[in-house]
Chain A
Amino acid sequence: MKKQKKAFPGLNFENEENSFKSIEVIQKEFFRKTVKTVLYILILLAIYIIYSLITIRPELFENTFIRLINHSYFSNLTIEWILFSTTTFLFVYFLKITYLKYTPSLISFIKYESKNLGFDFKKEFNSGQIFLLLNSISISILIYIDLGWIKFEDTLGSGFFIFTFSALFYDKFIIQLKDDFYILFNFHFKIGKPKKDGSNLVGIRLTSNRLSPKNDKCGRIVHSKIAKRRWLSRRKISKFNPYLHFYEFSTPLNFQKQFLNIVLALTEWQNYYGSRILCFDARIPLNKIESKDNFLDYFQFFSNFK
């Protein structure tokens, strides 16, 4: 693939001063995005409260223009659903952005760096767009119900409305390497005021696709050997995750190097997982596997892989 190189005017982490400025830019963007979401939530909550009052205690609005409108316009499923679903979506979205911490400039930076290596960094689906699509379908159904054109008594069918919230699980940033291999991105930085001591380090957590189930002994051996050799992060996302993944941590400065490290770990995984050379001892309990008599030198295997 031909590289498209052009000067990137955004973030710069090449020296302390520029890093400090870049972190400031990222934090400002993050703050702006968060405030905007909170503002939308507050506006929607205010509408929600007013709407609830109109439907529950209409006498409070006796002297306003609202009493001129036919009350039946208000009490329908469509309005209730729009308010409920949008507020819930925004609230969970707010929690998600405070956890995922991605900002436009950081995304552009990673996009540029990965393009230099010949890879496409992309957002896998957009939760906002998917939510709009699913919610539009839900609203259309509800309008028909409100108009009495269809009757909705099937409780199983209500699952579709809950399905609308599945949009919240998207917004993943990935680089697809091959059909079965990809790298997932998570961003990390402190929200507080940027500090000169470097404690506001911007971090990028890289996670590979699922490799094998944790109870697969061969997978555990190959995973452990590759992770140790490449100094991959041994951080566990969750003890309950039944699958093995490779993890790597990088800063914007060493992003390329760390990214290549985890990708090369995947190339080794593809070559050695299931190979009889590394897995011939998989039947022996793991705590006894380190015995040199039963295990060939790891360096020998990987020195052949060039």
Chain B
Amino acid sequence: MSISFEEFIQKYDIDNFTKILELKGQEKVKFYNEFIEIIKSISRIFDKLTNIASIRGGQVLMSLAKLEKSETVINKTDIKRSLNIDRLEKLLHAFDYLEENNYINIEKKTSKFHVIKLNEKDNPDFTLFREIIQKFWISPEEEEARVNKWRDQK
């Protein structure tokens, strides 16, 4: 079962601060089970990320998850830019590894233009992963922009 963080928040109106969250009986058990399911899913995400053999693999997955929020078509260069990596060669091993392990799908439109997507179908935990990353993770590109903005302030 793939669990969604957003659905969980909405289902119990957790972000509604005008309403009291009151859970009784079966509903409380259900809430607890779903909450535990989210934690378990996060634990599996940790396990998956820490076992990716390619050095940049985890970063590529995070960048891809983040970009899926704003872009409909994502290619390798978008990920390179988001991770602030100077050369695409540094990421090629990661793309190959992630594709081989079914973490991502690569659609080759032309010899140079490859569209990349997170493989949520085979990895249901990626739904929660994507939601968390899109909500809380700051990419190196964004961090760099933030740092440069601060530096340029008098």
Chain B residues with CB under 8 A of A87: none
How many whole Å from B76's CB to the nearest CB in chain A?
Answer: 15
Q: In the complex where A5-B86, A15-B93, A116-B86 touch, is A260 in contact with B147 (Cβ < 8 A)? A: yes
A7 / chain B contacts, CB cutoff of 8 Å: 87
A residues near B86, Cβ cutoff 8 Å: 5, 8, 116
A264 in the interface (beta carbon within 8 A): yes
Using CB atoms, name the residue of chain B closest to A267: B150
A14-B55, A116-B84 known; A177 vs B151 contact (CB < 8 Å): yes
Q: How far is the CA of A284 from the CA of B93 in the complex (A)?
A: 54
Which residue of B55, B90, B140 contacts A257 across the interface (Cβ within 8 Å)? B140
Question: Which residues from A are CB-within-8-Å of B89?
Answer: 14
Of the candidates A5, A15, A267, A306, the one whose C-beta lies within 8 Å of that of B147 is A267
Q: Which of chain B's residues have a CB closer than 8 A to the CB of A177?
A: 151
For chains A and B in complex, what number of residue pairs have CB atoms within 8 angstroms?
41
Please classify the interface of chain B as helix (H, G, I), strand (E, B), loop, or mixed, using the class held by over half of its residues: helix
A248 smallest CB distance to B (angstroms): 13
Which residue of chain A is the closest to B87 with respect to CB atoms?
Answer: A7
Scan B55-94; emit 1 where CB is below 8 A from any A CB, else 0. Answer: 1100000000000000000000000000010110110010
Cβ-based interface call for B144 (8 A): yes
| Min CB–CB distance B14 → chain A (angstroms) | 15
Which DSSP category, helix, strand, loop or mixed, fits chain A's interface? loop
A306 to B142, CA, bound (A): 10
A residues within 8 A CB of B140?
256-257, 260
**Judging by beta carbons under 8 Å apart, are A178 and B84 in contact?**
no
Judge if A107 is at the interface, Cβ distance under 8 Å.
no
Could you tell me if A264 and B146 are in contact, using CB atoms closer than 8 angstroms? yes
Complexed CA–CA distance, A287 and B97 (Å)? 49
B111 CB-CB contact with A under 8 Å: no
What is the distance, in angstroms, from B144's C-beta to the closest C-beta of chain A?
6
User: Residues of A contacting B93 with CB < 8 Å?
Assistant: 14-15
- With an 8 A cutoff between CB atoms, is A54 at the interface? no
Give the chain B neighbours of A270 by CB distance below 8 A. 150
Interface positions of B (Cβ within 8 A of A): 55-56, 84, 86-87, 89-90, 93, 140, 143-144, 146-148, 150-151
A-B contact sample (18 more), CB < 8 A, given A256-B84, A257-B140: A7-B87, A8-B86, A14-B89, A14-B90, A15-B55, A116-B84, A117-B84, A117-B147, A118-B144, A118-B148, A178-B151, A253-B55, A257-B143, A260-B140, A260-B147, A263-B150, A264-B143, A270-B150
Task: Give 16 CB contacts A-B under 8 Å.
Answer: A1-B148, A7-B87, A14-B55, A14-B56, A14-B90, A14-B93, A15-B93, A117-B144, A177-B151, A256-B84, A256-B140, A257-B140, A261-B143, A263-B150, A264-B147, A267-B150
